Structure 1
Amino acid sequence: MTSGDVYTHGHQPAVVAQHARRTAEDCAAFARHVIHADSQVLDVGCGPASITVGLARWAAHGHVTGVEVGEEILATAAESVADAGIGNVTLTEASVYELPYAAGKFDVAYAHQVMQHLSDPVAALSEMARVVRPGGWVAVRDSDYSTMRGYPSSTEITRWREVYRKVCRHNGAEPDAGRHLFSWFRAAGLANVQMSASVWQFWTPETRQNWGYSWADRCLRTSFARQAVEYGYATSDEMEQIAAGWRTWADDPDGYFHFIHCEVLAQVS
């Protein structure tokens, strides 16, 4: 991202806490076989660095460089790295459109749920490929918001999905990024690709309540909440109703929710 891109979620506590639950095992399994003990890995959009830490453990004799925009989230990432006792991580403020690294520096460039927030994902993929050595890999995983469905049916959650997708597109980004990855990689000149997909599910009491209550909070106290009202896609009262709908779903013992992630591995020629 750059100063010209608008991050739909924001880095408020409700967002960061949810993103900090992500792990390399959950989010980068599709790329595990190309990350070796001595790999040099770039983690684009590292957020609170919970995935970064896992990548660093996989590349125990190599190095992981995490990049983000914004000093506050990088400070949180630094805390995560320090708390984990990881010594082979460097964190840097940088834009994916202008990475401050020489061509071919990395063995793997990885990004999780980043492309959905970019106004020019093809340019970002091209820049990620530039800093990967020939024979190395670009690994990207992104979700598809239109696949975010659950039970029981909820008019509030249906409305949330509609509002979120409008806000994201208002910001010049693509909320259904997952389904676009294949074409974006081809447009970036990365034709040697491996495609896969995986599903996140929320149905146990712990996962359901975490997901539902997190989104309830995010509909009230984050950049997304502010943008939804400022852009005219929802009123404050409606966002309150949507948040209440998330809480109702989270407390329902029959509640279930899922969505698809698309995953691409492309070898750089």
Structure 2
Amino acid sequence: MSSGTPDVYTPDIYTHGHQPSVVAQHARRTAEDCAAFARPVIKPDAQILDVGCGPASITVGLARWAHQGHVTGIETGGDILATAAAAVVDAGVDNVTLAEASVYELPYDDDTFDIAYAHQVAQHLSNPVAAFAEMARVVRPGGHVAVRDSDYSTMRGYPSSTEITRWREVYRQVCRHNGAEPDAGRHLFSWFREAGLGDVVMSASVWQFWTPEARSNWGHSWADRCLTTSFARQAVEYGYATEAEMGRISAGWRAWADNPDGYFHFIHAEALARITA
């Protein structure tokens, strides 16, 4: 994976895609679940940049925390921005702006924001170091860059499932084929340092799925995503799995989701860097 800064940026390939099963899963995320590590530095009047805002479920939570400030959510384009706009309206927050923009070339002046935040974005970037440097550029001195990302190698569950083990292998192959790093969480500290961010505090947290509702949602969501999303299409097109194999992986996820003993977890790493003059 490249860590240098290219002269011209080409769009990254989004491994998940924005099909309904993906968007529905991502819309369950909240600021409380995904940005708690940054909560202590978010003031009521904060100006926040939410990079890769997706369906804006986290965005609206950030807007409520910064109720006297403003949140700008960006995506690279497509229907997801319309989905995000509808979520903002439904939430009744009036301090959110949504825009089409690339994290590599942010259309904002230096020192514009108090916080630049990204959740599970780095794992889809071909050049996370350049992205973090650009996020830091638009944050004023004393502000923060806050990034949280997962580590697919830590995605483990019980009972042991050959299909889910195969899913993890195929997903990581597809992600790396797209020029990105599926185990992004463990790299954040190094990437921040390479981007010139020196005052960094690291933390980590775990997502768990064991209640009937959480297990069913997570398992059946991935069962659908193994059949109907960009990931499923890419896995077959790139030659890492056949359609029949993706069908078996999907069935394995459904079997796990329906097992009352089913348990699953994975680690997120969290990097919070204070910007100095």
TM-score, L = length of structure 2: 0.96
Deviations 1:216-267 (A, max 9, x none): 0000000000000000000000000000000000000000000000001000
In structure 1, the partner of 2:260 is: 253
For the residues of structure 1 that align with 2:44 and 2:26, how far apart are their CA atoms?
25
How big is the shift at 1:191?
A: 1.1
Deviations 1:118-144 (A, max 9, x none): 000000000000000011000000000
**Which of 36, 40, 49 is the matching residue for 1:33?**
40
Match for 1:219: what amino acid? C
For the residues of structure 1 that align with 2:35 and 2:11, how far apart are their CA atoms?
28
Does 2:91 match 1:84?
A: yes
Does 2:134 match 1:132?
A: no
For the residues of structure 1 that align with 2:273 and 2:101, how far apart are their CA atoms?
23
SS state of the match for residue 219, structure 2? helix
How big is the shift at 1:12?
A: 0.3
Match for 2:67: what amino acid? A
For the residues of structure 2 that align with 1:71 and 1:202, how far apart are their CA atoms?
30
**Which of 176, 185, 190 is the matching residue for 1:178?**
185
In structure 2, the partner of 1:107 is: 114
How big is the shift at 1:71?
A: 2.8
Q: Which runs of 4+ in 1 moved over 3 A?
A: none
Does 2:146 match 1:162?
A: no
How big is the shift at 1:113?
A: 0.2
Structure 2 matches for 1:19-98, cutoff 5 A?
A: 19-98=26-105
Q: Which moved more, 1:66-75 or 1:212-221?
A: 66-75
How big is the shift at 1:25?
A: 0.2
Match for 1:49: what amino acid? A
TM-score, L = length of structure 1: 0.99
For the residues of structure 2 that align with 1:86 and 1:5, how far apart are their CA atoms?
30
SS state of the match for residue 271, structure 2? strand
SS state of the match for residue 143, structure 2? strand
Mind listing any 5+ residue stretches in structure 1 that lack a counterpart?
A: none
How big is the shift at 1:70?
A: 1.6
Match for 2:39: what amino acid? R
Among all aligned residue pairs of Structure 1 and Structure 2, give the percentage whose two residues are the same amino acid. 80
For the residues of structure 2 that align with 1:40 and 1:71, how far apart are their CA atoms?
25
SS state of the match for residue 71, structure 1? coil
What is the aligned length? 268
